[in-house]
Chains A and B, each alone.
Chain A
Amino acid sequence: MRSLFVVFAVFCVVLGDNENAQLLASKTILNQYAVENKDLTVEYQIYNIGGSAAIDTQLVDKSFPESDFEVVHGNLEVTWQRIGPGYNVSHVVILRPKKSGYFNFTSAEISYLPSETAKEPQLGYTSAPGEGGIVSFKDYDRKFSSHVLDWSAFAVMTLPSLGIPFLLWRSSKTKYEGIKAAKKAA
């Protein structure tokens, strides 16, 4: 009974003593397939589980080098002036991988002031999606494109083997029917 009370007291202290802002940040790649030269959707989500607003929250992602990724939409360095307690924000950036192969997706950094009166910013990291493969465009296209041109070429190639017997039959049929009609008329 007493131990239960102690556990409960500790639990209350841990939960109740959250006067400051506390941010949890995640970073996820929303793609089913990461393909070279196609859009790569990166989503960052920041949750404020603390008791007060987080001021000047800065999200900086330096893990995508210019040589390997091109930023198509969105920004990799942004600031939110205020994230209220219990609120969450999401941030999405669209990148385009310039090379295929394995890439280790690492964390982005966040910094924020835990309260209006705080002087020192609190630093943290987002979660990291881990290592992923970027499929080359050739392989992706071979598997997923609609291949209309290939099928049309196939149709054109089957035309002789179907067309020639058909035309032969057609010509002999019309000739035969012509003879038959002439015989009947005579």
Chain B
Amino acid sequence: MEKIMRILFLLICTTLWTLSSGDTCVNPVVKSEVYTTTETQMSTQTVVIVDFELTCSNKPQDLHLYAEFNGRTVPASKTTNSNKYQVSFTGEHKKLPGGHYVVRFFDDDLYSELRKAQRSSDDTSSVKTLFNINVSHQGASAGPWVSTEHVAALAAILVWYLAYTTRSQLQS
């Protein structure tokens, strides 16, 4: 009797556990493509686009993905046709200088752990992720530091100055 109760209890627990959470991904394999803004004239804000294709060995039917970048967490969008996902982030140019960034991805369970850590003000970087994607941002440039016409003007002034001083020396 006690054995049957124990088995029944375990069965109920596992059923509840599988029903309560979304699917998880076993052995995630990610193929990603990252784009970041390179010219400030082409975008008033720096954007980061991460397109990726995810394959899991257990082929989950109902996988929810969340991405975290620079402290902001968003749900991942899925393209209508295939198992390709996209996450996008925008920010001011000053707040996203060139450098290396990491986008962390969570499934439902890991995301709830992240939320728990955020609520109790714990260190969110210690929460385990499903996988990470590295972003190498070369920085959004507003053009060269010194424009060529300024260089040309300076060179012209320099030549004139040399000629003038030489002439003054000769005439003195």
Q: Which residues of A contact B (CB under 8 A)?
A: 30-33, 35, 38-41, 43, 58-60, 72-75, 77-83, 89-94, 144, 146-148, 151, 154-155, 162
Contact = CB atoms under 8 A, between A and B. Distances in A.
B128 to A, nearest CB: 22
B47 to A, nearest CB: 5
Given A31-B43, A59-B77, 20 more contacts: A31-B41, A31-B44, A32-B40, A33-B41, A38-B39, A39-B39, A41-B47, A43-B47, A43-B88, A43-B90, A73-B35, A77-B79, A78-B78, A80-B75, A81-B64, A82-B75, A90-B88, A90-B90, A144-B143, A146-B147
B159 interface: yes
Contacts of A155: 152, 155
A80 B35 CA distance: 21
Interface residues of B, number: 37
Closest 10 A-B residue pairs measured CB to CB? A78-B77, A92-B88, A41-B43, A73-B35, A30-B43, A92-B47, A39-B42, A75-B79, A77-B80, A32-B41
Interface in B69-108: 74-81, 84, 86, 88-90
Main secondary structure of the interface of B (DSSP, over half): mixed
A78 B79 contact: yes
Contact of A38 (B42, B51, B64): B42
B78 A41 contact: no
Main secondary structure of the interface of A (DSSP, over half): strand
Contact of B80 (A39, A74, A79): A79
B172 interface: no
B42 A80 contact: no
Contact of A146 (B39, B76, B148): B148
Given A73-B49, A73-B51, A75-B79, A32 B152 contact: no
A30 B44 CA distance: 5
Contacts of B149: 147, 151
Interface of B: 33, 35, 37-45, 47, 49, 51, 64, 74-81, 84, 86, 88-90, 143-144, 147-149, 151-152, 155, 159
Contacts of B84: 75
B75 A147 contact: no
Contacts of A40: 42
B74 A89 contact: yes
B53 to A, nearest CB: 12
A75 B152 CA distance: 44
A78 B49 contact: no
Contacts of A93: 49
Nearest to A149: B148
Contacts of A30: 42-45, 47, 90
A60 B45 CA distance: 23
B77 A91 contact: yes
